[in-house]
Amino acid sequence: MIDSAALSRVKEIVGPENCHTGKEKLLVHGFDATLPQFLPDVVVFPVTT
């Protein structure tokens, strides 16, 4: 689990609207080809690309 201080810092950087910890977002955006599969603690979207 992500440390609350680290999560707060991420939210400061990208804004809370771009930082997601809800299970729905984690399931949709938190996967790749690595094994074993696991859910991330947080999904972060960039402010700009």
| pLDDT score for 32 | 83
Two structure tokens written together for 17: 């609207």
Domain spans, the chain: 4-44
Digit-coded pLDDT (tens) for 1-49: 899 999 999 999 999 999 999 999 999 988 888 888 889 999 999 988 8
| pLDDT score for 49 | 81
Measuring CA to CA, how many Å separate 29 from each of 2, 5, 33, 39?
A: 17, 23, 13, 9
- Other Cβ atoms within 10 Å of 27 Cβ, number: 11
The pTM of the whole model exceeds 0.85: no
* 3-class DSSP state of 12: helix
Kindly provide the b/e burial profile for residues 7-26, where b requires at least 16 CB atoms within 10 angstroms of the residue's own CB: beebbeeeeeeebbeeeeeb
